[in-house]
Every structure is written in structure tokens, then in C-alpha cells.
Amino acid sequence: MSTDTAVGPAGREVRQTHRVVIRFAGDSGDGMQLTGDRFTSEAAAFGNDLATLPNFPAEIRAPAGTLPGVSSFQLHFADYDILTPGDRPDVLVAMNPAALKANLKDLPHGGILIVNTDEFTKRNLAKVGYEANPLSDDSLEPYTVHEVAMATLTRGALEPTGMSKKDAERAKNMFALGLLSWMYHRGTEGTEQFLREKFAKKPDLAEANILAFRAGWNYGETTESFAVTYEVAPARLAEGTYRQITGNLALAYGVVAAGQQAKLPVFLGTYPITPASDVLHELSKHKGFGVTTFQAEDEIAGIGAALGASFGGSLGVTSTSGPGVALKSETIGLAVALELPLLILDVQRGGPSTGLPTKTEQADLLQAMYGRNGEAPVPIIAPQSPSDCFDAALEAARIALTYRTPVFLLSDGAIANGSEPWRVPDVDELPDLSVTFATEPNAPDGSDEFWPYLRDADTLARPWAIPGTAGLEHRIGGLEKADGRGTISYDPDNHDRMVRLRQAKIDGIPVPDIDVDDPSGEAEVLVVGWGSSYGPIGAACRRVRAAGLTVAQAHLRHLNPLPRNLGDVLRSYRRVVVPEMNLGQLAMLLRARYLVDAHSYTKVAGLPFQAEELAGVLTDAVKGDLPA
Amino acid sequence: MSAVELGQPSFGGGLDLVPTTDEPQKAKDFTSDQEVRWCPGCGDYAVLASVRGFLPELGLKRENIVFVSGIGCSSRFPYYLDTYGMHSIHGRAPTIATGLAVTRPDLSVWVVTGDGDALSIGGNHLIHALRRNMNITILLFNNRIYGLTKGQYSPTSETGKVTKSTPMGSIDAPFNPVSLALGAEATFVGRALDSDRKGLTEVLRQAAAHRGASLVEIFQDCPIFNDGSFDVLRKGDGVAERLIPLVDGEPIRFGNDGEYGVVRSATGGLEVAAVGGPGGVAEDDVVIHRAGEEDPTQSFALSRLSDQDLTHTVTGIFRKVDRPTYDDGARAQVAAAKQQATDRGDSLGALLRGKDTWAVLPEPENEQ
């Protein structure tokens, strides 16, 4: 990190720096997610580019002070466009020994460590297996340590409120936020305003939190322990109006926008599941936009109701995660046979089975691609960042509505909960998704019959004739149907034709050619990714190029069908590297489809790739050091 | 949180929002061009004939009627009716019907299902559709056997049933579908026999008119795998002593001359007793059927009078009460929210921008 130094008004050093990674870590009950979110909002309002990585346990309140109970929030903010939440923190805030123990290994030597000393009691240390207090031995010597008795100081600041000690201490996360806000020259008004609104119904709590926040800020300002503060200038992003957004929020907004652009009511049939539930929560607030949300008795009922709504002329949507997809598979197959529009939003998490509900993974690709009985092709779209979930939802809806097919959207835990600035689109620029329902009989012989499986010559889509349309009464179902006429057919040749027609319809969906980013134009190694690994792969490419090497990057948004030019692109490089948070699912598809010797690099640790590790892999590939 | 004023419509009929036609309709108008492919002698034929004969009576536009089915012999039903229809997947028809009912108040939505489809693989969806009181009519064809998979026992087969999958007799206790539906908070529950066209049509008529979920259990014969299973309720001398027909507001009497009645039992339930004569109960002791009673206790007790061996079988309408439907409630919320959105002037653009935005201005051109 390159920095410029100046001297501030208080005689303290002010360093200008281009980017900073801060990690707040504490107990699940310490409010780390709120603290991180709030700092993120301040960074966003200041105009920094940013990316965040919340990381929390599946248990709502794991036993206090234990390693499994540690919750953290990492924020990367910068004065230029950044791609990831950062590999390692520059600053680690550890609210207790468990948080220190779980996170210290990520803090580089020389990093800043701010520790809440009040929690470093014998009992708490023993709970996480510290034999000696790391604050009093020399184990923290490689770091710049700031020991702050946050609970004590918060208690003191809140004394005038008459609050109990225990209640007062709960505001210590705001003390930490205040201190960090001071260190990074962030304003206080935004946070104070936020706290007043958040606790509008409990003004006492609002004031207590504001007092703690100010106490943290003043602590930095008045004590001598912090000799340096830091400034990160606003980023020079493309012109426009920006807001901060998480992937799940962008996904929900994309669904609302899709309904508006299609002029169709939206029906979400779903069942709560981590990490997709926020999509339900958000959409349930937008009934005013014609969105109906239905919390069903199970995953199957959720998608069944969505498909029923699609039959009736709504944009049917279901949201879920991997285990839910498994339950919905049969209904997805039915939707393939019925040829009705349906969006399946899969926010992937660690598997198999219940796996790691709150951690990320991209291991549902093959489930989305092939996880059904019979030949049941389904288009697949994967957003590459939190804000991209908005555009991906619109694109998924476009395909579903145009081609009368279920469409998978594969988000994942990292981008679902992570946030970044989003250039808010002008509504006039959004695609027109309007649809035409069938209204007239269509029999080729000119009779008054309606043939539900007579296809459009261009799209191969069948007509969408909704109940209530006179003269088009028809029956559809999971049994094989006769090509065109749509009656039940067990004819062998018809089945062969229908299987191929359904496949041809999906294969024929036009998707944009894949772009290759190769600034030098001379790269011999191509790295191909999909979905949320866009950020780390892009950041890794920047590092490799900064080191004087060349590497080309291509990122897949459409996974089914794949871009038409993909085979040619893959074959034009000496080496193709495919990093994935699974055991090589895309690599297998690429190898099978294009006979390209793609090198698969995989990690399934529940966390996104780090740019540093990918840069190492790509450097090896460029230098020819990768294993065959 | 205070309750939200939903602006719920007053209780109306199940078909109040479905467009009607003045054009006379016949059973033939509801007959599709598909050849019916049930086995000869299947009870489904009789039910199909009753439904085709009954639908014109509703006077609805044919295009506003949808039949949704699951998997099983009876689930082929939609193919044989010239309405909109969907033959879906095993057990899931109530879920499809739910999505349709919520989004399309102008449709008359019917579910056709069987004892395996509704009570085994789809049991969860059935109870939740009833609990939510979706405005749908569910026809549960109960032949107490799996027909399409060729003769395994079903969740309504009597204990000890010898079938292909239970050569030593089935072990599990069967469901009583009427008891199950009442336990699942159903607002309309009826039962009829496939061959009793008059009785079946009357139950269908009231089920269709009911606003909310209606469950109609139809005893139906499978001549191939469970032949004659309901014959004791159809023919022979003992029929009148087995069938207990319910008439709302009337004392529950049955037998060739009404010589039997239903009375309160010492254990708090109901039982069958001879009425009048030596040793018989007094006429005043016979229970009066009240399908509209809010408290389902008596209806439930009536459902328990039906034995596995059909010694007694209660038919007619067990329960018919008004309760807000899920679909009306869901639509009312959406309508209220839309009105608010209009009043506030909400726009997609404003939603996307949210409360906290910042502007990035173009770079000054001359500054290099």
C-alpha cells in the first residue's frame, strides 16, 4: 500500500493511503455485522469504492466467547475501483480472545491490531485454549498493538445514563466504530443519524449508542496511543448516482424490476433457507409493485406455487439454496416439460447436505446443469458481484419469458451478503421484457384448434396461453406431449423429436460472446471463471500484470448455453486455468465440451479465493510451472 | 405489531369472482377429444360423468375453469375435460393450485387427487392447503389401493391388507381422510360414493359454492386391484344399515325406516343406536347435524363413526364454515400496498436509489 504522509492539525501524522482492509471480529452477540455495515455505509457515503465480506456462524448465538461463536466483517475500501473484500486485513479489531485467536493468522506482520482488553480474562483465555495471555507475552510483537479497555471505557461514558453495567457494555461495538471512524477521518453525523433512526422507538438506547460511539471517537482524538490517522480519498468511479448494495438486495430489486419491465405480476413461492432468506424478506416489502410472496410449507410447495402462478400468467419465482434445489428438482423437470417461464434463484452455500449454511461455495453448477431425471436442459446465469445480481435477474427473466423455460440464477453466499457500490441504473435504460400471451387458435390447418406445443420458428418457444382465454382451453402435464398438437404421446419417434427440440431450444438461446481482457494482447495463459470468483480472479490478474507478466481473463456469466465463441477463445491460448470454489465442475464441462486441457484450480474452504493465492497459481501457469 | 387491516371481502361464494356465461352448456361441452383410458369398470368413469354433468350447472365460462392433478389413475382426469388443465407431479397438485388461486381470483380451481397422491406423497401439501383455506376444491378419489403402480396398499388401505408389497398383510393403520381434513382445519369436508350420482353432485355443488378449501372424499372402486371394495355400500340388504347420510339441520337417522340414529356416547363421542322401541333411545336423543357449527368436535366425532370395514360409513357434508381464505388475504395485502404506493407516488427508480446515494461527477476536462 503506497502512502503519502502529512501532518495533521493536532500535530499527528496523517497518512494518505489508497486502500485499507479492516476486519471487525467479535462474538456473535457483539454486533460485529452491524458495526461493519455501518462503517461500510460511511465509506460508501464518502465515495470510496468498497467490497465487504461478512463471515458468521450458522448458530444464532453460539456459546459466548468460543471459537465457533466468532463473527467477523471485513471491509475493503479504496480510492480506486477494487474487486474483492481483500485477502488480509490491514487492521484487525478483536473484541475478545476467541476473535483474536480465530483471525490473527490473517493479519500480516506490521498490521494494526486493536484489542478490547476487558475480555482477556483468565476464563475467556482458557475457553479458547490460550495458556498465556497473548497481551502479556511477546506473541503479538510483530504487530502494532493498541490495547483498549473498550467495555470499561464504554461503561464510563454511559454512566450518566444510569444504565446497568451489563447493558452499557453492550454498546462497546459502537465504541469500536467510533474509534475506527476517527482513525479514518470519517464523519460522525451519518452514524448518529442512523442510530437515532434504528432506535427511534427506544430513544434511550439511541442515545446510549451515540454516547459510546462518540466516546470511541474522542478516545482516539484525546489519547496519545494513536500516533497516525489515515485518509482514503474518494474513488474515481464512472459518473453516476451510486448506492451501496448487497447481492441479495440487488437480486430482489432485479426481480421487482423484471416484473415491472415485463408488465407482469411477480409471484415468489419459497421457503426460508440460509443464505437466500433475505430475498424473501426484501420481496415481501414490495407488494406495491405487484409482488406476491408466499412462504410455503416446504421447498417443493414454494416452487409448485410459483409454477402454478406462471401457468396463470405471472412471473413465477422461487428462491433457495443447494438443499432446496435438490427438493425442487422434480418440479424444475415439470417446468421443463410444461415449457413455462420460471426463475430459480439459488444462493449457493457449502455442501453436501446441510454443509456450511453461512459459508460460500459454487458447487451447485452441475446440480443446476444436470440435476434432474431425463434430458432436462435449463439455462444458467451466474452474477459476478453483489451489484451484478440485479442485471443477472433481469437477464434470467428475459430468457425465461422469451423461451418459456425455467432459468437458474446461481448466486452464492459471498456476493449475497457482501456489498459494494452500485451505479443505480436509469429505469429508462432497463430492457423491455414485455410478453405476448396467445389469444387465437393456431392450428396449422386453420381450424379453431389450439396447439399448445406449436413452436415459434425463431425461438422454438411454445405459446403461453393462460387460463381465462376463450377457445384456447388445453391440458399440459409431465407426460410426453405430441410435437405441435400437445396431446399425450407415447410414440417413440415423437419422444426422440421432443427431447431434441427441448435441447435445441435451450442451445439456441443467443447469449453474448465472451469478452477476453488481455491488455497486452500477448498473453498465452487464459484464466476462466464464473460467478462470484470474478473479483479475486480479476485482482489476481492485476497483480500478475503488475509483476510484468501477461495473463488474459475471461469470465462466464452464461453457463448454459455457453457463449458461441468460447471454444475458439479457449483453443487460442497455450494454457487455460479454471479456478472454482468446487472440485472442478466448470473445468469438467469445458474439457468435455471443447476437448481443451483446462487446468482446474479448486478450493472449498467456505470463503472466497484470495487474490494472492490466485496470483500465485496464475504466475506458475505463465511461467510454465503448473503441474500437468 | 398491530394487525394489518386487510380490507377483506365479506364471505362470499367460492365462484363469486369467476366470470359466468349465459350460453347454455351441456356435459358434451366439457368433454375433450381425448379418449378416456381408465380400465373398464373403473369408478373414475362414474365420477367423470358426474363432473361433466354437473359443471354446466355452474354457468361459468369454460375457459375460467382449471383442473390440476397429481399422479395416479385419477390424476388423468384433467385430460378428459375441455377446460384448462395441468397433470402435474406426484402429490404436488395443491401447490400448483395454490399459485393459481392466489394470482387468479377469476378462476375456478379444482384439484383431482387420489389416496396415495393426496395422503401419502402429498400429505404435507394437502394439510397446508386446508389450513390456509385456499379457495380450491379438492376431489380426493379414494380407492384404498395404488392402481397405477399395480396394486400396492395405500395410506387408506385397511390394516392387514394383502397386496403385492404386503404379502403377509399391511401393518400400518390407515388415515381416515375426513378426520385428517378436519384436524387440518378444513372449512369444508364432504364425502360421497362414486356411483351415487345424486349424492356426489350435491356435495360437489356445495363444495364449488364454498369460498375456501373444500375437500370431497369420493369412495371409488378399482376393479383391477381392489375390486368390489365398496360393494357393501352399494347393493344388498344391508346398505341402509351401513350408510349414514348427513342432512344439515336434521336428526341423523338411517336404516330402512330410520330405525337407527346417532347419539352421544358415554365417552364423549358419538355412537350408533337403535331409535324407539324396547331398549332403543328416545327420538330426542338423536343428534342433529350442524355442518355450520364453528366447533368441529361433532363433525370430527361423526367422521369417527366410519369403520375400516365399512360397518358404518357417513356420507354428505361434515363441515361447512366460513373463514378468511389465504388467497383473498394475499390479494388484499397486495391491493392495499399498491394503493399506498400510488398514493405515495412510489416508483421503481426511487426504490432502486434508496435513501443513501452519492453522486460521482464527471472528471473536469481540463485537469490533467
CATH number of the domain residue A250 falls in: 3.40.50.970
Residues A55 and A198 grouped into a single domain: yes
B positions 4-23 inside 8 Å of A (CB): none
Residues A198 and A280 grouped into a single domain: no
pLDDT greater than 50 at residue B93: yes
Question: CA-CA distance, A382 to A395, in Å (whole number)?
Answer: 10
Beta-strand pair A144-148/A228-231: unpaired
Minimal C-alpha gap between A578 and chain B (Å): 34
Domain edge (last residue) among A396, A429, A462? A429
Question: CA-CA distance, A468 to A564, in Å (whole number)?
Answer: 40
Q: Is there a domain that residue A440 lies in?
A: no
B151 pairs with which residues across the strands? none
Minimal C-alpha gap between B145 and chain A (Å): 22
Q: Is there a domain that residue A336 lies in?
A: yes
Cis omega (within 30 of 0) for bond into A352: yes
Question: CA-CA distance, A31 to A20, in Å (whole number)?
Answer: 21
Residues whose CB falls within 8 Å of the CB of residue B295, separated by 6 or more in sequence, listed in order: none
pLDDT greater than 60 at residue A5: yes
B positions 73-112 inside 8 Å of A (CB): 78-79, 82-89, 92, 94-100, 102-104, 106-107
Chain A CA closest to residue B69: A477
Residues A142 and A255 grouped into a single domain: no
Question: CA-CA distance, A411 to A611, in Å (whole number)?
Answer: 20
Chain B CA closest to residue A390: B352
Give the Å distances, CA to CA, from A88 to A42, A51, A92, A110, A378: 21, 13, 9, 12, 38
Is A452 in the B-facing interface, judged by CB distances under 8 Å?
no
What digits encode the pLDDT tens for the residues A240-276?
999 999 999 999 999 999 999 999 999 999 999 999 9
Question: CA-CA distance, A70 to A72, in Å (whole number)?
Answer: 7
Domain edge (last residue) among A394, A429, A464? A429
Residues A249 and A223 grouped into a single domain: no
Q: Is there a domain that residue A81 lies in?
A: yes
ipTM of the complex: 0.96
Residues A51 and A199 grouped into a single domain: yes
CB pair distance less than 8 Å for A253 and B351: yes
Domain extents in chain B: 27-246+318-331
Residues whose CB falls within 8 Å of the CB of residue A288, separated by 6 or more in sequence, listed in order: B337, B338, B340, B341, B346
What digits encode the pLDDT tens for the residues B306-343?
988 999 999 999 999 999 999 999 999 999 999 999 99
Please tell me which of the candidates A256, A467, A470 has its beta carbon nearest to residue B66. Answer: A467
Q: Judge residue B359's burial from the number of C-beta atoms within 10 Å of its C-beta, 0-12 exposed, 13-18 middle, 19 or more buried.
A: exposed
Minimal C-alpha gap between B35 and chain A (Å): 10
Neighbours of A108 (CB within 10 A): 13
Residues A75 and A159 grouped into a single domain: yes
Is A187 in the B-facing interface, judged by CB distances under 8 Å?
no
Is B159 in the A-facing interface, judged by CB distances under 8 Å?
no
B358-360 sheet: strands from edge to edge:
A419-423, A240-246, B358-360
Chain A CA closest to residue B87: A477
Neighbours of A272 (CB within 10 A): 16
Tell me the count of A-B CB pairs closer than 8 A.
207
Residues A220 and A318 grouped into a single domain: no
Q: Is there a domain that residue A171 lies in?
A: yes
For residues A396 and A559, is the Cβ–Cβ distance under 8 A?
no
Task: Look over chain B and give the mean of its residue pLDDT values, rounded to a whole number.
Answer: 94
A112 pairs with which residues across the strands? A91, A144
Beta-strand pair A342-348/A406-412: parallel
What digits encode the pLDDT tens for the residues A585-602?
999 999 999 999 999 999
- Residue A571's domain spans which residues? 516-622
The confidence band for A4, taking pLDDT boundaries of 50, 70 and 90, is low
Give B-chain residues touching A425 at CB under 8 angstroms.
352
Residues A221 and A288 grouped into a single domain: no
Domain edge (last residue) among A429, A463, A494? A429
Q: Judge residue B182's burial from the number of C-beta atoms within 10 Å of its C-beta, 0-12 exposed, 13-18 middle, 19 or more buried.
A: buried
Is A592 in the B-facing interface, judged by CB distances under 8 Å?
no
Is A297 in the B-facing interface, judged by CB distances under 8 Å?
yes
Give A-chain residues touching B64 at CB under 8 angstroms.
467-468
What digits encode the pLDDT tens for the residues B189-239?
999 999 999 999 999 999 999 999 999 999 999 999 999 999 999 988 899
pLDDT at residue B14, rounded to an integer: 87
Residues whose CB falls within 8 Å of the CB of residue B258, separated by 6 or more in sequence, listed in order: B275
For B2, which DSSP code? P
Please tell me which of the candidates B68, B85, B357 has its beta carbon nearest to residue A242. Answer: B357
The confidence band for A58, taking pLDDT boundaries of 50, 70 and 90, is confident
pLDDT greater than 90 at residue A60: no
Give B-chain residues touching A309 at CB under 8 angstroms.
99-100, 102-103
What digits encode the pLDDT tens for the residues B122-152?
999 999 999 999 999 999 999 999 999 999 9
B-interface mutation test, from A475, A488, A490, most B Cβ less than 10 A away: A475
Tell me how many domains chain A contains: 3
Residues A168 and A295 grouped into a single domain: no
CB pair distance less than 8 Å for B99 and A294: yes
Is B361 in the A-facing interface, judged by CB distances under 8 Å?
yes
CB pair distance less than 8 Å for B100 and A243: no
pLDDT at residue B347, rounded to an integer: 97
B143 pairs with which residues across the strands? none
For residues A24 and A239, is the Cβ–Cβ distance under 8 A?
no
Residues A191 and A249 grouped into a single domain: no
Q: What SS3 string covers B165-193?
A: CECCCCCCCCCCHHHHHHHCCCCEEEEEE
Residues A223 and A337 grouped into a single domain: no
User: Looking at residue A535, which CATH number applies to its domain?
Assistant: 3.40.50.920
User: Looking at residue A211, which CATH number applies to its domain?
Assistant: 3.40.920.10
Cis omega (within 30 of 0) for bond into B40: no
Residues A221 and A272 grouped into a single domain: no
Question: CA-CA distance, B271 to B273, in Å (whole number)?
Answer: 6
For B120, which DSSP code? I
For the entire predicted model, the pTM comes to 0.94
Lowest mean pLDDT across A68-77, B5-14, B103-112, B142-151: B5-14
B positions 228-247 inside 8 Å of A (CB): none
The fourth-level CATH superfamily of domain B27-246+318-331 is Thiamin diphosphate (ThDP)-binding fold, Pyr/PP domains (3.40.50.970)
CA proximity to B245, closest of B230, B231, B262, B232: B262
